[in-house]
Amino acid sequence: MMFYSVLFPNEESAALPRRTEMPDCFRDLQLDFIVKQALGDNQNLGLEEIFYTPVSDSAVIRYRQEVLRELEDPVVRAGVQEIVEGFGDLKAFLSELREGIKKEDRSAEVKEELMRQRLPMPFLKGRSAENWMGMGRMLLRALDFTAAVSAFSQKVRELRFRSAGLRGFAEYVAAYCESEHFRELEAEARRLREVFDRLRYCLWLKKDGSEVKVLPYEEREDYVSLIEGVFARFRQEDAMDFRRRLPETPVSEKAENEILQLLSRRYPEEFQALSVFCREKMVFDDVVVRFALEVRFYFGWIDLTSPLKEAGLPFCCPVFREKGEELRSEDGFDLALAIRKKTGIVTNGFFLSPPEQILVITGPNQGGKTTFARAFGQLHYLASLGLTVPGRRAEILLCDGVLTHFEREETPEDLNGKLRDDLRRLKGLLDEATPRTVTVVNEIFSSTTAWDALGLGKHMLDALMEKGAPAVVVTFLEELADYAPQTVSMRADVAEDREKTRSYRILRREPGGLSYAMLLAERHGLGYEAVKRRVQA
């Protein structure tokens, strides 16, 4: 089968619709923060759509897992990295030049305006001609492209890829390097570079910058060598190198392009050859360009998780189970919290044995309940992207998405009331959910009486059980924990020490609200014995 993508095993799966907007669950689960960290400098290149679109096809998931595991090998990563660095941001560059779309860059505009103020150049006004500066950049990109492809083709002979994605791309590149199109592109790019390297000219500028001329080249004395020779006797040691790399896009591109216009009139044949090359032969292979972009999806995830692994936090490739099979996670954690803290992370786990389906979490405030709920949602969502997930072991249902309902503060602009808002949001969530949608509900119905909240909570559990997918419900209503055979009681634990501190462990236990209330009362001197002593005193 012809290779198409390193993210999808075939063109059909890659052609499925993708989400362009951030899913609603991202903010509740802090996936927006996680994705931003994973993208790093690769934001706004189209990779966001991959993170926004969960995959429900197990074949696509396995395809990605194999590629990710192989790229975690430093040797493989280094080999593939070369081709990505050789291309740079090729996709965005081509879009800018071919479609004439210039990205807004206020800092560049300011710099250009300042340069104009220092060196006014009236000849820039009212001219429309070839964008020689852009064509020159395209020639350089063609050289980078062909060099990177050739180097990768040689490199893969040393690397024997195991994953179908990388192996397929390596075979594709080997065939592409032998194609007539690639050989012509490579040869013509090298020839043109040699042609322009041989061009010599003199640039004459009037002192006030009002006039610029391009004159034939005349041999002049090399003043650099002359000055170095004069001062060579005073040299004691190597001087510090104060040179710096100039940006690819010059500060005053319009001025330089106008100079190139003048130069093109002096060397018309050479510049005409460049124009023909850019318009007719400058075609980069779509598959190779797509690979250079898509592989950054994996690089970003590896760069994000590697420091956490070094800190001792476990990651694994999840195994997917079907409905009716046991589901479990061992040593899972909230990834967003781990990225921020890196150390001192408490891990937790769960297991669901049929007919168990819904984890009902109770316990004291600030005991880790919401963190556990976020970790549960993150686990399922990240698994649906084909990524490694927090935990030493994960056997879960392959979901088609994650829906969340977290408590929100009431706002003065909302005239519906908090309870009504909770109910409307919950109904929308349940209407959207499918039998393979994971649901996370965190502390709702707190604005009504305990009796009404209990009744509404039971209706909610009935609806979730009817859907049949795994869910987490964080609640202060302990009666919901043993509502049905499908519900499992888990409790935020309190450490058994003198301080009675929270352990942030979420354990499979019966609700202990009364015992915690007694503990809280004793801590504040309101326990039975303490009150009795005061009364008797």
Residue 166 within a domain: yes
Residue 344 and residue 284 share a domain: no
User: Mean pLDDT across the chain, nearest whole number?
Assistant: 83
Q: How confident is the model at residue 324 (pLDDT cuts 50, 70, 90)?
A: confident
Output b/e per residue, 79-109; b: 16+ Cβ within 10 A: bbeebbebbeebbebbebbeeeeeeeeeebe
Residue 422 and residue 282 share a domain: no
Least confident of 98-102, 181-185, 496-500, 520-524: 98-102
- The string of DSSP letters for 297-344 reads HHHHHHHHHHHHHHTT--EEPPEEE-TTS-EEEEEE--HHHHHHH-SS
Residue 377 and residue 487 share a domain: yes
Residue 360 within a domain: yes
Most confident of 95-104, 154-163, 186-195, 451-460: 186-195
Residue 167, domain extent: 11-17+53-237+251-297
Least confident of 4-8, 311-315, 528-532: 528-532
Residue 262 within a domain: yes
Mean pLDDT, range 30-41, rounded to an integer: 95
Q: Which helix (H) or strand (E) holds 193?
A: helix 180-197
Residue 36: pLDDT over 70: yes
Q: What pLDDT sits at residue 28?
A: 95
**The pair of three-digit structure tokens given for residue 302, joined into one six-digit string:** 């590896």
C-alpha–C-alpha distance, residues 7 and 22, integer Å: 20
Residue 155 and residue 256 share a domain: yes
pLDDT, tens digit, for every residue of 358-403? 999 998 878 899 999 999 999 999 999 999 999 999 999 999 999 9
Domain count of the fold of the chain: 2
Q: What pLDDT sits at residue 390?
A: 97
Residue 358 and residue 282 share a domain: no
Q: What dihedral angle (degrees, nearest 10) is formed by the CA atoms of 87, 73, 311, 502?
A: 100
Residue 46 within a domain: no
Beta strands 327-332 and 319-321, pairing class: unpaired
| pTM given for the model | 0.81
Residue 164 within a domain: yes
Q: Where are the alpha helices (DSSP H) in 31-163?
A: 31-39, 48-52, 58-71, 74-87, 90-99, 106-118, 132-155
We report the CATH number of the domain holding residue 466 as 3.40.50.300
Q: What pLDDT sits at residue 120?
A: 33
pLDDT, tens digit, for every residue of 414-441? 545 678 888 888 999 999 999 999 999 9
Residue 118: pLDDT over 50: no
C-alpha–C-alpha distance, residues 372 and 362, integer Å: 11
Q: Cis link prior to 23 (omega < 30° from 0)?
A: no
Residue 346 and residue 270 share a domain: no
Residue 130: pLDDT over 80: no
Residue 276 and residue 361 share a domain: no
Could you count the other beta carbons within 10 Å of the beta carbon of residue 49?
Answer: 13
Output b/e per residue, 420-442; b: 16+ Cβ within 10 A: ebbbebbeebbeebeebbbbbbb
Residue 333 and residue 213 share a domain: no
Q: What pLDDT sits at residue 206?
A: 79
pLDDT, tens digit, for every residue of 485-536? 999 999 988 765 544 567 889 999 888 655 445 545 665 677 667 777 777 7
Residue 227 and residue 202 share a domain: yes
Express the helix, strand and coil content of the chain in percent, nearest 5 each.
Answer: 50, 15, 35
C-alpha–C-alpha distance, residues 356 and 326, integer Å: 9
Mean pLDDT, range 447-452, rounded to an integer: 78
Q: Which helix (H) or strand (E) holds 169?
A: helix 164-177
Residue 352: pLDDT over 70: yes
Residue 284 and residue 320 share a domain: no
Residue 518 and residue 418 share a domain: yes
Residue 267 within a domain: yes
Residue 336 and residue 227 share a domain: no
Residue 398 within a domain: yes
Q: Higher model confidence: residue 372 or residue 221? A: 372
Q: What are the C-alpha distances in Å from 246 to residues 97, 113, 140, 236?
A: 20, 18, 15, 29
Mean pLDDT, range 278-293, rounded to an integer: 85
Q: Which helix (H) or strand (E) holds 352?
A: strand 348-352
Residue 469 within a domain: yes
C-alpha–C-alpha distance, residues 505 and 374, integer Å: 14
Mean pLDDT, range 138-157, rounded to an integer: 85
Residue 106: pLDDT over 50: no
Q: How confident is the model at residue 305 (pLDDT cuts 50, 70, 90)?
A: very high
On the CB side of 452, CA atoms within 13 Å amount to 9
Q: Which helix (H) or strand (E) holds 374?
A: helix 369-383
